[in-house]
Structure 1
Amino acid sequence: MSVAELRTRPAPNDEAAPRSREEALLALLRAVRESGYRFTTVTPATHARVNGRPQNAAARSLRDVLGWSRPFREGVIPAELTALMERAGVLDRSEDVEGALLKARIRLSSLDDELFLHAAYPPLAADAVFFGPDTMRYAGAVLEHLEERARAGKPAPRRIVDIGCGSGAAGILVAKRLPEAEIILVDINPAALRAARTNARLAGVDNVTALHSDMLRDVEGSFDLITSNPPFMVDAGGRAYRHGGGPLGAGLSLRVVEAAAERLAPGGSLVLFTGSAIVEGEDGFRAEAETICARAGLDASYREFDPDEYGEELDDPGYAEAERIALVILTATRPTAR
């Protein structure tokens, strides 16, 4: 089922239709990959600026259609791709004075020589599946941690969970590198889980399972590695991929730390990539997260990945007291038994 179809329930006697659409979607993604398509997804602010240029009002290439989410006419992309988009249910049709105008309901982004399916721009729906620069930073932080473990002579993690997996990108990249490991992707957003499953199939990894769970509530056992890039913004629209809740958007990030404190195996680590609003020079999220780690006996390290991101968000009343929003990485490890 496509990202755009995720809120559409099939008729009771049409159970084959979702499977047919899912297979058409996968065929589309494979055909696009074979075409040599590559696209680096930018922030929504940059996307708006670039698409706002007069020459970018309509698509002229496949990258424009599936990367920049621009409307297009028949003939701009190969007819077989348009037909697959139609079969997969990811194509909107409208009419203007020049005739039929088409628009894709999905985007495809490149990372680590893979393509990842996510929501088209603008991602306004409450259950939109987001992929952007933070996804790439997050995945990089997780892979860096794996490399550090290997350099230190530590065993590779065998049981791994990505909390709030979104498109599943980070977990899928880990699965590629650790084919013997069990990778569990969890999210409360059905749209994200469907996209993650499709992305795992596209990447050809078979050691990945996507499950619906609020944090780790519906997943059993302990983990050698817990990763997460939870929503951390103050979002009045309550969009699943943005709204962090709690004080200045830190609510979900703190819940991830609490879940890790309960479920990390000896020698296991949490890698949390998130954002923190700094008020009067103080990082409130850091203080609370490190307190949770200390109480659980976890060894924690913390660093600012970028001291000043999302400056435009400071105009939101929810950030009236904040002076900057930093991107941060918290790593917490449970010592092995002695």
Structure 2
Amino acid sequence: MTTPPNPFLAATPRTEAALLALVEAVRASGYAFTTVTPATHERVNRRPGNALARDLRDVLGWSRPFRSDLLGRELFDLMRAAGAAVPDGEVWRPTLRLSGLDGELFLHSAFPPLAADAVFFGPDTLRFVRAVTAHLAARTAPVRRVVDIGCGSGAAGIVVAKRAPGAEVALVDVNEAALRAAALNARAAGVGSVATRRSDLLAQVEGAFDLIVSNPPFMVDAAGRAYRDGGGVHGSGLPLAVVEAATRRLAPGGTLVLFTGTVVVAGRDAFREAAGALCAGAGLTFACDEVDPDAYGEELDGPAYAEADRIALAVVTATRPT
């Protein structure tokens, strides 16, 4: 089987309209799906009887091949018009997924997301958005300018825009497919106050921000996929770069909310130390809260993490005093 074309890069005004119509039709069907980790996804799909889709969730959630008569003519025609399904012998394969979050359905890449330009959405997205909404609920200062660095599907920025309708929200990424998916997801959510822009961190956007949110790549990925490979020591390169960018671009009273992985070696968390030092040097308050002390345990078998005790998931918050 060849890798199907990326439906977000192949989008035209006609296919974009079909994608949005597909989202609405799927929403109207009562569809619901929570994206799981790749390891769980693979295990569930390997079970007997799961090789071929039996319903809509199997197609647009579990990314299983399906027969053309499974979904009904309207949905099947929309998928074809949107580039959301491609033929593969006697069956069709979905090229994207739809996952639920915050009452919306988000378009993202089909499983397995092997392409370098895959659009990420997974359990970490839900954890990240939970951290962002918790910050917003506790925040007393107004939010006027917001940026989601490495926005992927745009989930966090869109959730912020829904809760701060007067805010200017920028969704930035170096992945053109992610920017197109994020723009579609914003339109599907009815959020008009967001703008997408190709930017390496904050290099192509100007000014200071009241809120910077980011869930950057934080793993060591041998395939070098943009949505997953953080670079640097143990994948910490991009997370630290986000912290450094925030130290220069937070407005007075502005906050960074960063969701990331952090590797503990011999009891020492080098990322926490480095991020804390960057914030202290810029006069920012700093907190790093472990929300899961032991994640991605399967990665410890690889050479990149041969010395690691564990990989934790953490939420970093850094605030510039007013």
User: TM bucket by the smaller chain?
Assistant: over 0.9
Correspondence 1:176-187 to 2 at 5 A: 176-187=162-173
CA distance in 1, matches of 2:8, 2:138: 38
Tell me what 1:314 maps to.
Answer: 300
For the residues of structure 1 that align with 2:94 and 2:141, how far apart are their CA atoms?
44
Are 2:232 and 1:246 aligned?
yes
State, as a whole percentage, how many aligned pairs show the same letter: 63
> Counterpart of 2:272?
286
Distance 1:195 1:7, change over 3 A: closer
Where structure 2 has 5 or more consecutive residues not aligned to the other structure, the ranges are: none
Deviation at 1:148, TM superposition (A): 1.2
Which residue is equivalent to 1:77?
71
Once the two structures are TM-superposed, the CA of residue 5 in structure 1 deviates from its matched residue by 3.2
Deviations 1:296-320 (A, max 9, x none): 0001111111000000011111111
Shift of 1:155: 2.1
Q: TM-score, normalised by structure 1?
A: 0.93
Q: Tell me, what secondary structure is at the counterpart of 1:270? A: strand
Equivalent AA in structure 2 for residue 173 of structure 1: V
Q: Which amino acid aligns with 1:328?
A: A
Q: Which residue in the other structure is 1:221 paired with?
A: 207
Which of 191, 195, 208 aligns to 1:205? It is 191
* SS in structure 2 at match of 1:55: coil
Q: Does 1:272 align with 2:266?
A: no
- Tell me by how many angstroms 1:3 deviates: 7.8
**AA paired with 1:4?**
N
Pairs aligned (count): 319
| Aligned mates of 2:232, 2:68 — CA distance in 1 | 47
- Secondary structure (helix, strand or coil) at the match of 1:56 reads coil
Q: 1:86 aligns with which of 65, 80, 84?
A: 80
Contact kept in structure 1, 2:9 and 2:180, CA below 8 Å: no
Map 1:64-213 to 2 at 5 A: 64-95=58-89, 100-149=90-139, 154-213=140-199
For the 8 Å contact 1:169–1:196, the answer to whether it is kept is yes
The 3-state SS of whatever aligns with 1:74 is coil
What's the RMSD between the two structures over aligned residues? 1.2
1 CA distance for matches of 2:65 and 2:253?
A: 50
Letter in 2 for 1:118: H
Flag structure 1 segments of 5+ consecutive residues without an equivalent.
9-16
What is the deviation of 1:6?
4.2
| Alpha carbons 2:286, 2:317 under 8 Å: kept | yes
Matched, 1:329 2:315: yes
The answer to whether the 8 Å contact 2:283/2:320 transfers is yes
Which residue pairs with 2:24 in the alignment?
30
**1:199–1:7 Cα change, 3 Å:** closer
Q: 2:8·2:181 contact (CA, 8 Å) conserved in 1?
A: no
Question: 2:256 touches 2:318 (CA, 8 Å); kept in 1?
Answer: yes
Q: Name the structure 2 match of 1:5.
A: 7
Whether contact under 8 Å (2:7, 2:96) holds in the other structure is no
TM-score by structure 2 length?
0.97
